[in-house]
Structure 1
Amino acid sequence: MSVVMEPTDRTRIRRGRNRAVAERTDLLALLTDALVAHLGVTVGDHPVVLPTAFAVDVDGPDEGGTLYVHGSVAARWLRSSAGTTVCVTVTELDGLVAGRSAFHHSMNYRSAVVIGQARVVEDEAERQHALDLIVDHMLPGRSATLRPSTRKELAATAVLAVPLAEASMKARAGDPVDEPEDVTAGIWGGHVPVRRVLGAPVPAQDNLPGLDVPDDVRDRAC
């Protein structure tokens, strides 16, 4: 059964409503596919937007599930965002759209906006779970192959949780939308697909001799 995202005043799409995506499954698919999120916070008297690794737990403790990001406990942006409303955006570029006029050049994309009150994860079990999710988001299955985090590493790392209750998504695909007279003028229009390509794994220079690329890394690169 499909689940439709109910917009709020903060997530209602007012411009380009024809590109709004209502299905929650499409939002979750984008959050699964994308690797980088941008977190917008207010630090002191000015806004800051930071790129960050992230992961999603659809069954997380927050309303609608939980989006996790992590950072250093010393990071000012992380301390400043606790208990405040933050904005997380995720975008995947799918194509470059060549219109028949400058005005109608565009991009094919999928983008999401998540707005919510951030909280610092204090529970040790949830924090470890979130960190494992972030590692596995980059390399599925990787966390199970790693040694446990040390107390020092955990003490230096903070996790921020944002509810997925308030979210919106837009998407564009396909050809340019040109004026009829520009089409009949014979100017070429179309789009250039863009896709992410992962290369073959490159071993670290200080690997011990004879180490093979593990399955989790090889599977991700294929």
Structure 2
Amino acid sequence: MSQTETSNSYPTSARNQVKRRHDRGFYDHDTVHRILDSSMLCHVSYVIDGQPYCTPTFFWREGTRLYWHGSSASRMLRNQSKGERVCLTVAHLDSLVLARCGFNHSADYRAVMAFGRAYLVTDPDEKERAVIAMVDRFFPDRTAGLRPSSTQEIKATSFIAMQIEEASAKIRAKGVADDDEDYALPIYAERIPVRTVLGAPEPCPRLLDGVSRPATLNGYSEGRLLEDALRDAYFLEYPNG
């Protein structure tokens, strides 16, 4: 069954099909979503009056829809409110690869490009859910114990959503890959793993006496990989994926 015939995969087109190294391209929901859900920082690319821009921002996924937020005065949000086409990207650097030839030096990585039309969230119910999700997606159940956001704070925050029309993942997990004849050369080569690891929590020095760290934050513990904590938090907030 081709990618375009599979309900569990995003359709492919000239826009999202991996052009170089087809073997590294993936279009299935499971692979694409797993990479997205392992991150909280994305880059959103768009064009204003012929000038390309690329803005880093926090984001989250609900099904096949992506959300991100920012100030209501943001240039990015102002120009993505009327169905503008955007490309949202996420990338994880997994290793540095040192080969026996400069040409074969590389890196292991996981990346996603997602395409669609951005729209400003104006429906009151959808915006109310987004106000909660922008916290609880990363820190499940936290909003319920916080001071409620004021009307002015909510008014100053805008949300953009995008239904994923097309998406592709590209993954390299090969490590050192020299030409066969180069393995006989007396040249050192190696793979250097790269990970983002959580440090020890640093409580606010102005905490009131008796206020302790809630158990809901146990997933963010010293020594854990950030991507594991983010993925676990996602499935706590969205058990059905």
TM norm structure 1: 0.90
Residue 79 of structure 2: SS of its match in structure 1?
helix
Q: 1: distance between equivalents of 2:201 and 2:109?
A: 28
Shift of 1:208: 1.5
1:66-215 to 2 correspondence within 5 Å? Answer: 66-82=65-81, 83-215=83-215
Shift of 1:132: 2.3
User: Are 1:84 and 1:118, in contact at CA under 8 Å, matched by a contact in 2?
Assistant: yes
2:36 aligned partner, one-letter code: L
Q: Where does residue 54 of structure 2 map in the other structure? A: 49
Deviation above 4 Å: which 4+ runs of structure 1? none
CA shift in 2, pair 1:124/1:221, >3 Å: farther
Q: 1: distance between equivalents of 2:56 and 2:26?
A: 24
Q: Where does residue 23 of structure 1 map in the other structure? A: 28
Residue 48 of structure 1: SS of its match in structure 2?
strand
Aligned positions, number: 216
Q: 1: distance between equivalents of 2:73 and 2:91?
A: 28
Shift of 1:68: 0.2
The answer to which of 41-50 and 159-168 deviates more is 41-50
Residue 199 of structure 2: SS of its match in structure 1?
coil
Shift of 1:93: 1.2
User: Are 1:39 and 1:89, in contact at CA under 8 Å, matched by a contact in 2?
Assistant: yes
CA shift in 2, pair 1:218/1:189, >3 Å: same
Percent identity between matched residues is 35
Q: Where does residue 32 of structure 1 map in the other structure? A: 37
Q: 1: distance between equivalents of 2:213 and 2:11?
A: 44
User: Are 1:43 and 1:76, in contact at CA under 8 Å, matched by a contact in 2?
Assistant: no
Q: 2: distance between equivalents of 1:84 and 1:41?
A: 8
Q: 2: distance between equivalents of 1:2 and 1:76?
A: 36
Shift of 1:133: 2.2
Q: 1: distance between equivalents of 2:45 and 2:112?
A: 13
Unaligned runs of 5+ in 2: 1-5, 223-241
User: Are 1:67 and 1:164, in contact at CA under 8 Å, matched by a contact in 2?
Assistant: yes
CA shift in 2, pair 1:96/1:72, >3 Å: same
Q: Where does residue 225 of structure 2 map in the other structure? A: none
Residue 220 of structure 1: SS of its match in structure 2?
coil
Shift of 1:2: 8.3
User: What is the RMSD of the two structures over their aligned residues, measured on CA atoms?
Assistant: 1.8
User: Are 1:2 and 1:25, in contact at CA under 8 Å, matched by a contact in 2?
Assistant: no
Q: Where does residue 8 of structure 1 map in the other structure? A: 13
Unaligned runs of 5+ in 1: 59-64
CA shift in 2, pair 1:211/1:114, >3 Å: same
1:96 aligned partner, one-letter code: L
Q: Deviations over 1:54-112 (max 9, x none)?
A: 00000xxxxxx210000000011111122210110001111111111111111111100
